[in-house]
A and B are shown apart, each in its own frame.
Chain A
Amino acid sequence: MASSSTSVVVSNKEKENKNTKKVTLKSSDGESFEVDESVAMESQTIKHIIEDGCANNEIPLPNVTSGILSRVIEYCKKHKEAAGESEPSVTSYTSNSTTNPLTEWDTEFVKVDQNTLFDLILAANYLDIKGLLDLTCKTVADMMKGKTPQEIRETFHIKNDYTPEEEAEVRKENQWAFE
């Protein structure tokens, strides 16, 4: 009985060792994150760095803070898991829940404050992670629907830099949409 349980443990560990190639990502505020290489390669940016042979010790990501990086890694891990061993991950964002099994998880993932959402967009763009970029952009796009320009400004804390004449001119271009 003892031998059989050992063999189970050994085979699990073997499986783990197969994908154990790890890489360290360093955030702008100096925190290090060790992740599986396959997960890190969800980012095309990181993938190119690794393929170029520049990932010696760790990959510095000066444009991403630790708070955001940990979330991005969480996203990549979840999506890599869902995609299985296939490469690259094909679960790009779609609201069609019959083709994207992670729709619910994705929806929860982007329930964050605006600051974080903004940072996630920039990080997804810098790291070139298409699924995350699509997801975050779509989330912001949905926040713009059905709102007047003033409501959009209030939602996103944007200052109106138009003079009254300029604003009237913009509205005049497509007057019907503002009525």
Chain B
Amino acid sequence: MGESFRKRRKILGERLRKRRKISSKAWKAETEAKYSSSSSYSWSDLPAELLGLILRKVPFVDTIRCKAVCSSWRSAATQSQAQSHSIQSTPWLMLPSDQEGDFTTSRFFNLAEKKVYKIKDVFGAFGDDVWCVGSCHGWLVMLDDEANPVIFNPFSRVHIQLPLIPVEFFKPIGRSKFAQIKKDFVSKAILFADPSHSNNFGVVVMIYGTLSSLAFCKQGDTTWTNFVGENRGYYDIICHDNRLYALRYNCSVEVWEFQSALPTKILSIEPTTTLKHVDGNLPRDKVSTQLYLVKTSSDFLIIQRTIGNFVNAEGDVVDESYLLSSSDTQPLVCPYRTKLFCVYKLDLGKKLLVKVESLKDQVVFLGGNQSMSLSSHDFSECVSNSIYFTDDRWSEMDVDYLYGGHDFGLFNLDDEEIRPIYHSDLEKFDPPPFWITPNPW
């Protein structure tokens, strides 16, 4: 009786093992680990695949510390790192050093812990003048000292060189002159895929030049290619479902596919409604606007950012002449500042823009990064119904030595107030802060 019981158990066990595709060794370890009794457990003996499951739910910085706990945890963590899976976490805010004269240390502010981590010499390989033009999947798109594009993961320190930007794109100036004006050349670049495991970034698309044109390069290409058609006036680009969604100055959205050699436009949505200009104490001639396209869990949103070109210490948007109105010998310092965000939902079917009063649980991250959104339900460290933004006014970065890169904060749609995310005495952030979701793999 006992013999057939044991035999049947063994047969069933074998079937289970095969069905679940576990190796005999792992299965044996798993069953033996708990076969005896629950009093002899040890967390360091937890099967590697289960420890891997747990570690995937642990925030990035804590997994690093887990590796230092004991050797079996380290190997489990490394093993699970090698497997491809998307990590979701709140983006970290990448900041320059706050120490005078220190150009090599980067700081990373973690919203979840409200803590800053300092990492030395992150960008050393690319020269002193490296410039970031994009951030997605935990990778930065950068232009090195010679304005050559590269994609770089600051946590894994892996970089992938991209083809040189063609001379035709910045004619008539030569390449060396181009390196000097590179900061204003690319407004944004995005990657279609995370190259962490496969080294395949899919496609990189950038908005460049004075006309804000689109160009792309696919994995394996040796150069960049322009998009066909009118190719001008693009404000923002995002990748969704392996397609490019491009927002243009008139709030039209184009959808492009990359199946064949050249991208094909499969859809163009031109809303019949237009955005209302913000009124009140934000007069049209004293502000600039920037548009962003973002996909939340349910909708496509077009977000209008209104920036006061000169904002005084009281927070009022003033005219440039105001700077010289004081009796001081020096002009007043009135940096540009974001004053307001207006959110519109793009109804794709009806081709309408509908003003949105609340993002509900969604939280949006905007700036030089690929516009993204998260749910505050999943990440309690985020204030819901808010927009976390950084400064992407590349043309204004070097205009005044007293400020630049400083226009970052948190806008809440409930009270339409802007609050700081990170307190700093500095007013100049060079290079400007960027949102980056740590991707250690």
Contact = CB atoms under 8 A, between A and B. Distances in A.
Chains A and B belong together in one complex: yes
Contacts of A153: 69-70
Contacts of B120: 176
A147 B62 contact: yes
Interface in B1-49: 5, 8-9, 12-13, 15-16, 19-20, 30-31, 33-35, 37-39, 41-44, 46-47
Given A60-B5, A152-B69, A170-B67, A176 B119 contact: yes
8 A-B pairs closest in CB distance: A141-B57, A96-B377, A149-B68, A156-B43, A177-B64, A176-B119, A137-B54, A141-B58
B43 A158 contact: yes
Contacts of B64: 173-174, 177-178
Interface stretch (A33-41, A44-52, A72-80): A44-52
16 contacts: A62-B35, A118-B41, A121-B50, A122-B30, A122-B50, A128-B20, A138-B57, A141-B54, A141-B58, A146-B62, A149-B68, A153-B69, A161-B70, A162-B70, A170-B68, A176-B120
A91 interface: no
Interface in A99-142: 114-116, 118-119, 121-122, 125-126, 128, 133, 137-138, 140-141
B362 to A, nearest CB: 13
A173 B65 CA distance: 11
In this complex, the member of A45, A152, A166 whose beta carbon has the largest number of chain B beta carbons within 10 angstroms is A152
Contacts of B331: none
Given A141-B58, A152-B65, A122 B33 contact: yes
Nearest to B55: A141
A158 B62 contact: no
B191 to A, nearest CB: 24
B251 to A, nearest CB: 31
In this complex, the member of B43, B46, B71 whose beta carbon has the largest number of chain A beta carbons within 10 angstroms is B43
Given A48-B19, A60-B5, A171 B68 contact: yes
A81 interface: no
Contact of B62 (A116, A133, A144, A167): A144
A126 B30 contact: yes
B286 interface: no
Given A170-B74, A171-B68, A176-B118, A159 B34 contact: no
Given A118-B43, A177-B61, 11 more contacts: A54-B12, A62-B13, A95-B377, A118-B41, A140-B54, A144-B58, A146-B113, A153-B69, A158-B69, A171-B68, A178-B68
Interface of B: 5, 8-9, 12-13, 15-16, 19-20, 30-31, 33-35, 37-39, 41-44, 46-47, 50, 53-55, 57-59, 61-62, 64-74, 113, 117-120, 361, 375, 377-378
Interface string A1-33: 000000000000000000000000000100000
Contact of A162 (B16, B71, B361, B375): B71
B9 A60 contact: yes
A73 to B, nearest CB: 17
Contacts of A158: 42-44, 69-70, 73
A167 B68 CA distance: 6
Given A137-B57, A153-B69, A179-B118, A119 B34 contact: yes
A65 B67 CA distance: 31
In this complex, the member of B9, B12, B61 whose beta carbon has the largest number of chain A beta carbons within 10 angstroms is B12
Contacts of B59: 145
Given A28-B35, A137-B50, A146-B62, A62 B16 contact: no
B377 A98 contact: yes
Contacts of B361: 98
A85 B320 CA distance: 68
B68 A119 contact: no
A26 B133 CA distance: 61
A160 interface: yes
Contact of B38 (A96, A115, A162): A115
A63 B35 contact: yes
A135 to B, nearest CB: 10
A36 B440 CA distance: 45
Nearest to A148: B65
Contacts of A90: none
Contacts of B72: 161
B192 to A, nearest CB: 28
A60 B117 contact: no
A116 B34 CA distance: 12
A152 B20 contact: no
Contacts of B35: 28, 62-63
A47 to B, nearest CB: 11
Contacts of A171: 68
A149 B57 contact: no
Contacts of B46: 118, 121
A82 interface: no
Contact of A68 (B38, B57, B377, B378): B38
A100 to B, nearest CB: 10
A119 B12 contact: no
Contacts of A122: 30, 33-34, 50
A21 B55 CA distance: 39
Contacts of A149: 65-66, 68-69
Contacts of A144: 54, 58, 62, 66
A121 B34 CA distance: 11
B165 to A, nearest CB: 32
A160 B58 contact: no
Contact of A48 (B16, B70, B73): B16
A130 to B, nearest CB: 11
Contacts of B66: 144, 149, 152
A137 B57 CA distance: 8
